[in-house]
Each structure stands twice: as C-alpha cells, then as structure tokens.
Amino acid sequence: MPPQPPEATAQDATRKHLLETAGEVFAEVGFRAATVREICLRAEANIAAVNYHFGDKERLYTAVLQDTCRVALETYPPNLGLAAKATPEQRLSAFVRSFLLRIFSEGPAARHGKLMAREMIEPTGALDDLVRENVQPMAAMLKSIVRSLVGPGASEETLRLCAMSVVSQVLFYHHCRPVVRRLYPDLKFGSVELEQLAEHITQFSLAAIKQLGKARKKRGGK
C-alpha cells in the first residue's frame, strides 16, 4: 500500500476533477467563451461547484493556470536531466528541446502552452505571478547558457537579445501554427519533426551567438 497522500477527501477529488476539466475548456475556447455550465457539465459536477470550490470563474482560471504550469514544468523540466558538467552547447540543445516538447506535447502539459498563448493576447492578473515565479528563472537559465557561449564580457543587453532570439524561434511554431499550417500543409509536428526542428533552432542559434562572440572580441569589447 503506497503512502497515501494524507486527506485525499472527496472534496479534493471534485476539486481536482474540476481543475482538470476547466483546464481543457479554457485551453479550447479561452476564458471568456468558456462557460461555468460547460465545465461543470463535463466534470459531472453541480453548476454551483465552481463557486463553491473556487469562489468564482476568475479564481478558477487562476488556479488552472498555476496548476497547468506546474504540471508542464514537472513533465518537461528545462534541463531534461542533463549531467551537471554538460557543455553549454548541450545545455542549449536541452533547453530548446524541452521547450519545444513542452509546448507541443499532446497531454495535459500541452494545455499550459495554449493558455499562455491566450494570456499573451489578454493578460490577466495571474500573469504577474507566473512570470515572476516561472518565466523569470527560465530566462535567467537561458541567459547563463548564452553567456557561456558568447564568452565573458558580453553586455546584459546582448545576452538578453540573444536569449530572446532563441526563445522566439521555439515559440513561433506554436504561436503561429495556424499560419504555418496553411503555408506548409504537409508540415507535421511529430516527435521526429520536433527533433529536427530542435536541431535547426539549436544550430542556427549557436552559429549566430558564436559569431557575435567572435565579432565582439575583434572589436575589442562590449
């Protein structure tokens, strides 16, 4: 008998189910279009269950956002279990791959990507916390990787710009999927294709970053 989590009450079960179902619905149609009725119906809960467990629709949404974020990061950790003494190149590759896998996964973890994309269009109060607690550390990690690659002495601005150039390439395929799909109908995003994509983004970025590093040294600074 496994060490049962303490107090796995009926309440928690309903709450959890609600959280999961709401995640689905919010990811599918967004906060506004999602209706409490639909969520409760799918979760086989009473229409008043949302208000009872979360106060109101908005707080349910906040809880969903935080929960999906946690799940996504647990499922695809940014370093992908890399050895401690990995090279910067390996670390960049892992970062890109885990990021891609995270937002293109098909499971519950994928919902976070959809929710975040919607959050970019209409930010809610929940975004502040999310950026501070989750995005910030990721950005710092990536910047440290870039610093290792571009060499010491690079300005904060350079690090920031390069980090964003890396991130942008990953996010693009997720965010602009509707356009990409229409431009290249044959393009798929299976695991093979994702690996190829990760390889391209990594190589493209490595080439650029290293080149910038060389150019900086030649100019003797900055």
Single residue of 17, 57, 59, 160 touching its own copies by CB under 8 A = 160
61 is an interface residue for its own copies by CB under 8 A = no
Q: Which of residues 11-50 bind its own copies (CB under 8 A)?
A: 30, 32-33
218 is an interface residue for its own copies by CB under 8 A = no
Q: Nearer to DNA by C-beta: 53 or 147?
A: 53
76 is an interface residue for its own copies by CB under 8 A = no
164 is an interface residue for its own copies by CB under 8 A = yes
Q: Nearer to DNA by C-beta: 12 or 193?
A: 12
Single residue of 23, 40, 169, 198 touching its own copies by CB under 8 A = 169
Q: Nearer to DNA by C-beta: 36 or 209?
A: 36
Least separation, in Å, of the C-beta of 165 and its own copies?
5
Residue 192 binds which of its own copies, DNA, none (CB < 5-8 A, kind-dependent): none
Distance CA 203, CA 216 (A): 20
